C-alpha cells in the first residue's frame, strides 16, 4: 500500500479503535530481519497506542515468509487470540524462488483468514531491491507494520460491531 507519493503509514491515534480488550498475535519472519524487526516495531507501536496491553501482544518468530501462514494458523487457532499480523520480507533474487515464496505466503495467509474467521494481516514486503524494502519498513514510504496494525484494529472493530 505504501507507494510513491502515497504514505499510508500516517494515522491519528485518536481515530484508532480502542484495543484495550484485544489479544493480538504477531508472527515474524527471521529472514531479512533488519526489515521485519522494523515492521514489528511499527506494529507494536500502533497496538500499544491503541491501548492493547503489552501482555496481550504475543510475538513468535518463524524462519521465513513461507512459514508465516502456518505460524499464523497456530496463533489464530488459540481461543485467546483475536487477530494476527504476519510480518515478512522477500527480496527478488536471480531465480523464480521469489515468486513461489510470495505466492505461497499470500495465499496461505488469505486461507488462514477464511478458515479461522479471524483477521490475519498481510504485512509481507515483496520488493525487487533492498532499497525498496528499507523504504517500506520505516523509510520514505512509511512502515508496513504500522499499516498492518491499523488495519487489524479496524477489522477487529468491524467484527465486534457485526
Delimit the domains of the chain by residue range: 29-35+55-155
pLDDT in tens, 25-48: 999 999 999 999 999 999 999 999
> What is the model's pLDDT at position 118?
98
The tens-digit pLDDT sequence of the chain (162 residues) is 445 556 668 899 999 999 999 999 999 999 999 999 999 999 999 999 999 999 999 999 999 999 999 999 999 999 999 999 999 999 999 999 999 999 999 999 999 999 999 999 999 999 999 999 999 999 999 999 999 999 999 999 999 999
Tell which CATH architecture fits domain 29-35+55-155: 3-Layer(aba) Sandwich (3.40)
Q: Which three cell numbers stand for residue 41?
A: 516495531
Question: Could you give the residue numbers annotated as active site?
Answer: 97
> What is the model's pLDDT at position 10?
86
CA–CA separation, 8 and 109 (whole Å) = 21
Q: Which three cell numbers stand for residue 93?
A: 533474487
* pTM for the full predicted model: 0.94
pLDDT in tens, 123-138: 999 999 999 999 999 9
Amino acid at each position: 500500500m505504501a507507494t510513491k507519493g502515497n504514505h499510508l503509514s500516517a494515522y491519528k491515534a485518536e481515530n484508532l479503535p480502542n484495543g484495550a480488550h484485544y489479544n493480538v498475535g504477531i508472527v515474524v519472519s527471521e529472514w531479512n530481519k533488519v526489515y521485519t524487526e522494523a515492521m514489528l516495531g511499527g506494529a507494536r507501536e500502533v497496538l500499544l497506542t491503541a491501548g492493547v496491553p503489552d501482555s496481550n501482544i504475543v510475538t513468535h518468530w518463524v524462519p521465513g515468509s513461507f512459514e508465516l501462514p502456518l505460524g499464523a494458523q497456530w496463533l489464530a487457532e488459540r481461543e485467546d487470540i483475536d487477530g494476527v499480523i504476519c510480518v515478512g520480507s522477500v527480496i527478488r533474487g536471480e531465480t523464480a524462488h521469489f515468486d513461489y515464496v510470495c505466492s505461497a505466503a499470500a495465499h496461505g495467509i488469505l486461507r488462514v483468514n477464511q478458515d479461522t474467521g479471524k483477521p490475519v494481516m498481510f504485512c509481507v514486503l515483496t520488493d525487487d531491491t533492498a532499497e525498496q524494502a528499507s523504504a517500506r519498513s520505516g523509510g520514505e514510504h512509511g512502515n508496513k507494520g504500522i499499516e498492518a496494525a491499523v488495519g487489524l484494529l479496524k477489522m477487529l472493530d468491524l467484527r465486534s460491531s457485526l
